[in-house]
Amino acid sequence: MNSSVRHVVVVGGGPAGSAAAIEVARLGCRVTLVDEHPQSAAAMSLDAPYFYGARFSPLLSNVRAVAERVLGANEALMACVEAGVEVLTSTVAWGVFLEGPTSRHLGAPKVALADDQRSWCLDFDALILAPGARDLVLSFPGWQLPGVLGVKGASTLLESYHAFEGRRVLILGSGTAGLAFARSARASGINVAGVVDPAGEIAGDAALAQALQLAGVTFLLDHAIERAIGTQEVEAARLVHRKNGSRQDIACDTIVMAFGPVPNVELAAIAGCALTYDEMRGGWCPVLGPDMQSSVEGVFVVGDGAGIDAVGLLDPEIAIREARAAARAAACGETAPCVPPRIAPVTSDRRGAAEVWLEALVDAAGLDVVVCQCEEVTRRELLDLAPPRYLGTRGRPPGEALETAIAGGRLSQDLVKRMTRAGMGHCQGKRCRDHVAMLLARALGLPLANVAPGTYRAPVRPVSLAVMQADDESAELRERWAYWLHPVEGPPAGL
């Protein structure tokens, strides 16, 4: 192969990623597309990239059948193969490493990959990130029961894996993502027990909501969930009316959290891309220029990973057009990193739907509800900055401990994580990161933009140590480990 041909790596095989890969290939570049699906049941149990919950169909244990379903459902990915794109499926991108003062040994920018057999690094001239969105998870009593899952996880199991186990679902959230799932569920013969929202009006697409109402779907507005009911799995949900306090139990076997999708920014963050908080685009998003290039030259972000567009949730053509623009810029390699954000951050005091949901959930069940499943940290312990219970520490920080942690009007989520361990579990904070930030902002009266998001570190996907070991450093590097950061100057004097 001609070494002068630019190599563009695309991460994500959804509509945006596939469109970008095909465009890059059309322009004569070498292109590699990486997609983490189909996933193994073990990977899905760690709730990455979506909140799948604790109930899995036995069908997921049949690796070959799962692969046929997932790949067969992704026509865009098949089009990539036909266009000459190198497609790597069941492969996670767990890191991005760029050359810098402490990484001169790299030789070229690299994206770190892993499948179930090995881990390796791939050089690139340009990187297009199309990681999509993940689930926003807000807890309530019983959220650990099998049958509670996020709308992204539910949609993926239903439409790609064909392994959705629910037969009667209750949807929490009337935003467009929740409405779209209700439509898909009904089309698959699944009964929708209702769509719940603590607000007094439907939040999502009006035409879609009207179609669901005409089809007989019940909208329970001014309601919030108090708890999931069940012993071994979900059997019902107890709802509370926010105005009159009345309660009712809704029979269901599945509860889908559709509080709102959140852009996946892990890879962009560890690549050093500047992020900005934009309430209207789902929270923290990369700062992007007109051609979707980030603040880091040669790194582009497209699709839902660039920010959630409510219209785009129903019309993938918007993301596809952006992806093609990024592909053309990546192929020519002549654009400069962006400076201004694509959309100015929202500075109004308007509360988003997720914040309304959080208030309703706290009102319904209080603070003694687990917010971090991995480390079993409750909302109260989080806000008290209480140390982990297993340490046996009797003393608790003073009541104003959280207030004293504010510096310059901002609070670091990393600081809270180190003190309470909320977000340090095996899901890598995907279940609780946003919930924690929202609780902190609510308790301190801060805008969400003033709660600095927790730091992302590689690997941003769970990768087994057995796989990582295969890409261990060389014997020569281990021998020179004391000064391997200084390959040009040689070892410091005295070594």
Residue keyed to tokens 């036995």: 58
Higher pLDDT, 417 or 219: 219
Q: What is the pLDDT of residue 314?
A: 85
pLDDT digits (tens, 9 = 90+) for 34-60: 999 999 888 899 888 999 999 999 989
The burial class, CB within 10 Å (0-12 / 13-18 / 19+), for 474 is: exposed
Report the alpha-carbon distance of residue 14 to residue 48 in Å, rounded: 16
Q: Which helix (H) or strand (E) holds 249?
A: strand 247-251
Q: Which are the contacts of 3, defined by CB distance < 8 A and separation ≥ 6?
A: none
248 to 178, 233, 238, 493: CA distances (angstroms): 21, 19, 6, 75
Q: What is the pLDDT of residue 341?
A: 47
pLDDT digits (tens, 9 = 90+) for 318-347: 999 999 999 999 998 876 666 544 444 444
Q: What is the pLDDT of residue 102?
A: 66
Report the alpha-carbon distance of residue 71 to residue 74 in Å, rounded: 5
260 to 135, 168, 201, 283: CA distances (angstroms): 7, 21, 16, 10
pLDDT digits (tens, 9 = 90+) for 108-161: 899 999 999 999 999 999 999 999 999 999 999 999 999 999 999 999 999 999
pLDDT digits (tens, 9 = 90+) for 254-308: 999 999 899 999 999 999 999 999 888 889 999 999 899 999 999 999 999 999 8
The burial class, CB within 10 Å (0-12 / 13-18 / 19+), for 480 is: middle
Higher pLDDT, 238 or 48: 238
Residue keyed to tokens 């002068």: 4
Is residue 222 left, alpha or beta, with left meaning phi > 0 and alpha meaning psi from -120 to 50?
Answer: left
Residue 401 corresponds to which amino acid?
A: A
Average pLDDT value for the chain: 88
Output the furthest CA–CA distance in the chain (Å, rounded): 81
Q: Which two tokens stand for residue 404?
A: 């004293």
Q: What pTM, to 2 d.p., does this model score?
A: 0.90
Higher pLDDT, 172 or 393: 172
CA 434 to chain centre: 10
CB 195 within 8 A of CB 185: no
Q: Which are the contacts of 187, defined by CB distance < 8 A and separation ≥ 6?
A: none
- End-to-end, the C-alpha distance of the chain in Å comes to 43
Report the alpha-carbon distance of residue 470 to residue 413 in Å, rounded: 33
Report the alpha-carbon distance of residue 39 to residue 312 in Å, rounded: 25
The answer to which of 1-5, 306-310, 455-459 has the lowest mean pLDDT is: 1-5
In the 8-state DSSP scheme, what is residue 281?
G
